[in-house]
Amino acid sequence: MTMAGNEIRVDAPQRDILIKPISPVLGAEVAGVDLSKPVSKALVDRFKQALADYKVLVYRDQELTQQQLIAFSRMWGPLGEHIMPGAVRDGVAEVNVMSNKDAAGKPNGRHTDSSAKRWHTDRSYMPVPAMTSLLYGVEVPREGGDTLFVNASAAYDALSPEMKAKIEGLTAIHWVEWSRRTGGVAVATDYELKKAPPVKHKLVRIHPVTKRPAIYAGCHAWKIDGWSEEESRPLLDELVRHATQDRFVYRHKWRPHDLVQWDNRCTMHAATDFDTHKELRVLYRTIVECNPADAASM
Ligand SMILES: [Fe+2]
């Protein structure tokens, strides 16, 4: 037990916490921890290594308020602002509430995150992108509404030597205007455009912990630096097509009260459809920013 400010931190004994692989592609399930209670830095350090190793962590059976999710998320680093319109509800700026629940508590027929149905990595359109995202399933559909994850390190490893040579040293320009314009859901707002001007990231990023290269692309990647949109598109599309083959994809079927956390530096993800008229889907999401030094060097 340790004291931090006014908080009393009580850890579950670490030996009781089990981290076991959830699929051959990526991901591990974390059992034996209650994240509604404060956790120590030592335990978060253990989770940080597990996240680097497994890329996706699934903490089962959590009972979390928005504030408890924020408290755990803050252990990982500074939280990013949600700049998309309507992302924030209940006056809690750090949590993006994705919900298809209407005022009467019934499904409203709208997908909770339509714009996330294309492959992407969170906030790659920001100068300091997301290191990790945490998504908590308050209510999840009995069927559908899965989240798909790509192991972008394994996908890089499987590229041909010719393709590796071709993309070596290339930089992509990511732009929220591009992904909104081509996503068919909403155009970027003035606020988003002001907060997220076009930004450059290496097309192959080296993970700061594992030192493994990973393809860093997805729907926010607009074009290759120095190339035209027309020249860039075939290459960017080919990389996403390659990376999203079944052999690199893990499909997460949500259970109620799963907290799913992923490493945006070496994965891509996509939301899937569900019956928005019959099923409720309510999720809380936080975003933890990359360490700026890591973001600049990756
Ligand atoms: Fe996302």
pLDDT value at 31 more than 80: yes
pLDDT at 8: 39
**234 CA from centroid of ligand 1 (Å):** 23
Query: One-letter amino acid identity for 148?
Result: L
Confidence tier at 206 by pLDDT (50, 70, 90): very high
Measured CA to CA in angstroms, residue 173 lies from 90, 119, 167, 196, 228 at distances of: 34, 16, 14, 12, 11
d(CA 193, CA 190): 5
- Residue 32 CB contacts under 8 Å (≥ 6 apart), including other chains: 12, 16, 17, 18
Alpha helices in 104-175 (DSSP H): 152-157, 161-167
CATH superfamily of the 14-297 domain: Clavaminate synthase-like (3.60.130.10)
pTM of the model: 0.92
Which residues share a beta bridge with 250? 149
pLDDT band at residue 10 using 50, 70 and 90 as cut-offs: very low
CA distance 81 to 123: 10
Question: Can you give the pLDDT at residue 187?
Answer: 86
CA of 31 to the centre of ligand 1 (A): 24
Interval 92-103 mean pLDDT: 92
CA–centroid distance, 270 to ligand 1, in Å, is: 7
Distance 230 CA to ligand 1 centre (A): 26
Q: Are 30 and 50 in contact (CB under 8 A)?
A: yes
Q: How many angstroms separate the alpha carbon of residue 269 from the centre of ligand 1?
A: 6
When comparing pLDDT for 296 and 27, which is higher?
A: 27
Burial class from Cβ neighbours inside 10 Å (0-12, 13-18, 19+) for residue 236 reads buried
Separation of 182 CA from ligand 1 center, angstroms? 16
Structure tokens at 249: 């994809």
Average pLDDT score over residue span 223-235: 98
**Distance in Å, CA 116 to ligand 1 centroid:** 5
CA 204 from centre of chain = 18
Mean pLDDT score of the chain: 92
DSSP label of 15 = G
Q: Check pLDDT > 60 for residue 219.
A: yes
**What is the C-alpha separation between 44 and 156, in angstroms, rounded?**
28
pLDDT at 17 over 60: yes
Contact 248/132 with Cβ under 8 angstroms?
no
User: What's the pLDDT score for residue 13?
Assistant: 59
Average the pLDDT over 159-168 and give the result. 98
Confidence category of residue 14, pLDDT binned at 50, 70, 90? low
User: Ligand 1 mean position to 195 CA, how many Å?
Assistant: 18
How many angstroms does the Cα of residue 252 sit away from the middle of ligand 1?
Answer: 14
pLDDT, residue 4, reads 42
**Angle CA 235–169–122, to nearest 5:** 65
In the chain, the amino acid numbered 70 is I
- Give 117 Cα–ligand 1 centroid separation in angstroms: 8
CA distance 55 to 210: 11
* 214 C-alpha to ligand 1 centroid (Å): 17
By the CB criterion, residues less than 5 angstroms from ion ligand 1 are 116, 122
Question: Of the given ranges (7-16, 17-26, 77-86, 102-111), which has the lowest mean pLDDT?
Answer: 7-16
Distance from residue 10's CA to the centre of ligand 1 (Å): 32
- Closest by Cα among 198, 112, 202, 226 to 152: 202
User: What is the rounded CA–CA span in Å between residue 67 and residue 73?
Assistant: 10
Taking the centre of ligand 1 as the mean of its atom positions, its distance from the CA of residue 121, in whole angstroms, is: 6
What pLDDT does 2 receive? Answer: 42
pLDDT grade for 16, boundaries at 50, 70 and 90: confident
39 neighbors 75 (Cβ within 8 angstroms): yes
| CB-CB contact of 167 with 113 (8 Å) | no
- 229 alpha carbon – ligand 1 mean position (Å): 24
Are 140 and 254 spatial neighbours (Cβ–Cβ below 8 Å)?
A: yes
Tens of pLDDT, residues 35-93: 999 999 999 999 999 999 999 999 999 999 999 999 999 999 999 988 877 776 777 88
| Ligand 1 centroid – CA 6 distance (Å) | 34
- CA gap 46, 43 in Å, rounded: 5
More confident: 292 or 144: 144
The CA 64 to ligand 1 mean position distance, Å, reads: 20
Task: Return the half-sphere exposure (C-beta side, CA atoms, 13 A cut-off) of residue 37.
Answer: 12
Quick check: 3 and 9 in contact, CB under 8 A? yes
pLDDT for 292: 78
**What's the gap in Å between 11 CA and the centre of ligand 1?**
30
- Say whether pLDDT at 186 is over 90: no
- Quick one: CA torsion of 56, 251, 115, 129, rounded to 10 degrees? 20
